[in-house]
């Protein structure tokens, strides 16, 4: 089971790198310097970066509550 998961995540990683290259290409292709495009890219990056931290925080709080029976 673990081997299948490792292969699955390895195969997905190629698509993730291609998305980063697409963002870089879009940012570099704007010769007029539109600020709204860059603000949108920055907002998207922050959103994508924040979701894993939120999920990890929720999981840790859940584990803490169940382990210590706080509530």
Residue 71 has, within 13 A of its CA and on its CB side, a CA count of 6
- The answer to whether residues 68 and 48 belong to one domain is yes
- The answer to whether residues 44 and 57 belong to one domain is yes
| Angle (deg, nearest 10), helices 35-68 and 2-28 | 150
> What pLDDT, on the 0 to 100 scale, is given for residue 7?
80
- The answer to whether residues 18 and 37 belong to one domain is no
- The answer to whether residues 47 and 25 belong to one domain is no
Taking 80 as the threshold, does the pLDDT of residue 59 lie above it? yes
CA distance 14 to 21: 11
* Choice between 63 and 1, residue whose per-residue pLDDT is larger: 63
> What pLDDT, on the 0 to 100 scale, is given for residue 2?
78
- The answer to whether residues 20 and 10 belong to one domain is yes
| pLDDT, mean of residues 47-70 | 87
- The answer to whether residues 24 and 46 belong to one domain is no
Q: What confidence tens digit (pLDDT) does each residue in 9-54 have?
A: 777 665 555 566 666 677 667 666 666 677 777 777 788 888 888 9
Residue 54 structural domain: 32-71
Burial 41-71 (b: 16+ CB within 10 A, else e): eeeeeeeeeeeeeeeeeeeeeeeeeeeeeee
């Amino acid at each position: 089971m673990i081997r299948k998961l490792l292969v699955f995540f390895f195969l997905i990683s190629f698509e993730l790198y291609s998305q980063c290259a697409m963002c870089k290409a879009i940012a570099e292709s704007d010769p007029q310097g539109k600020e709204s495009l860059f603000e949108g890219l920055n907002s998207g990056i922050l959103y994508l970066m924040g979701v894993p931290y939120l999920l990890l925080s929720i999981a840790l709080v859940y584990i803490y509550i169940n382990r210590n029976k706080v509530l």
